[in-house]
Amino acid sequence: MHHFFFLSLQPPPLPPQGPPAAVSNAGAVVPAGPMMPYNYNVYEPVQPHWFYCKQVESKSVWFPLSLIDSLQLEETVISNVVVRTDGGRYDVQLYDRIRTAVYWEEEPTEVRRCTWFYKGDKDSRFVPYSEEFSEKLEAEYKKAISTNQWHRRLEFPSGETIVMHNPKVIVQFQPSSVPDEWGTTQDGQTRPRVVKRGIDDDHDELPTVDHLVFMVHGIGPVCDLRFRSMIECVDDFRSASLKLLHSHFKKPLDEHAISRVEFLPVQWHTALHGDATGVDRIKKITLPSTGRLRHFTNETLLDVLFYNSPTYCQTIMDTVAQEINRLYALFMKRNPDYRGAISVAGHSLGKIESASSPF
């Protein structure tokens, strides 16, 4: 018997082919050319921002005004006008560069149109240069940008030495040290100051008010353990209120359903201890021993005794009422269209005075 084996010979499989190419009406593919190099020699003017100087613990500290206030001052910088700032709590005389309080007594503070800053020696705050010196720095910066020439040492008649390494690295050396063209000092002991052009952050405050609160303080001329004044504590209260608006009421704030709360301090202690009331006659019989303790007693603890006195209790009540009425009249004069709510808040003895005052 014969056995047959059948072997099927098939051609090898062809390699897999992709789908047919789609028909395109586009033209031929042209290779992309090299990217255009970025021109780093384009000068952009610096955006000024307005600051005010304030004494904090016997030190001069510069604080930025809000973006709205800064833009408003910038628009009228060449005019001799008075501009309202800080929600109307302060007025700025542009010609004199002075900022004055509206609702309370306070020393006028300096305002400055700031473009260039240096970092202080003792803290991390940036301190603005004078307007005249900033204009000189801006002119040198523009020259360096336009010519692309850096590592330049700039010596000024006032003794400052500025070294511009590049647009982001600029330092100042003290008059006592003399750096070479690369910015290194011979003695190696003087640390250069960091120089900054312009500011990064916006410090804004809502322009409109829908709730006015009068804050009545308690006993004594100071309001916390840091011995700060009523004005400083109310400023912190106002800042905390703005932060809460953005963190807890963002949706109604974005929908313009609510706006900010304005807090105004009601100060009665100064009026009570003035010459008109005769209260401070007690200073004449105060013993000189343990002066600080007796001064604290006269300024603070006696307010409780005065409130319990039939004579001075009425004086305190009248003073609180008159001060609230004065603040209210001044606020309405500056905000004649205000139709929002009005409240009175008090701390310590101020709570009792707020409930009892016939304003």
Q: Which of 177, 229, 309, 348 is catalytic?
A: 348
Contacts of 264 by beta carbon, 8 Å cutoff, 6+ apart: 89, 103, 212, 213, 214, 215, 234, 327, 331
Q: Considering the chain, what percentage of its residues have pLDDT values greater than 70?
A: 68
C-alpha 79/C-alpha 44 separation (Å) is 25
Residues of the chain with pLDDT under 70: 1-40, 175-190, 201-205, 220-222, 224-225, 271-287, 290-307, 349-359
**pLDDT in the model for residue 248:** 93
**pLDDT in the model for residue 311:** 75
**pLDDT in the model for residue 102:** 97
Alpha helices in the chain (DSSP H): 67-75, 131-147, 230-248, 250-254, 269-272, 291-296, 302-308, 310-334, 349-356
Q: What is the pairing mode between strands 209-216 and 341-346?
A: parallel
**pLDDT in the model for residue 2:** 44
Strand order from edge to edge, sheet including 193-197: 126-128, 116-119, 193-197, 169-173, 161-166, 152-155
348 is catalytic: yes
Token pair, residue 270, equals 């100064």
Q: What would the pLDDT profile of 258-267 be if each residue is shown by its tens digit?
A: 999 999 999 8
**pLDDT in the model for residue 11:** 45
- Please report the domains of the chain, with CATH numbers, ordered by start residue: 46-114 (3.30.720), 116-201 (no CATH), 209-356 (no CATH)
Q: What would the pLDDT profile of 219-229 be if each residue is shown by its tens digit?
A: 766 676 677 88
CB 344 within 8 A of CB 216: yes
**pLDDT in the model for residue 316:** 81
CA torsion 276-320-346-309 (nearest 10°) is: 60
**pLDDT in the model for residue 21:** 47
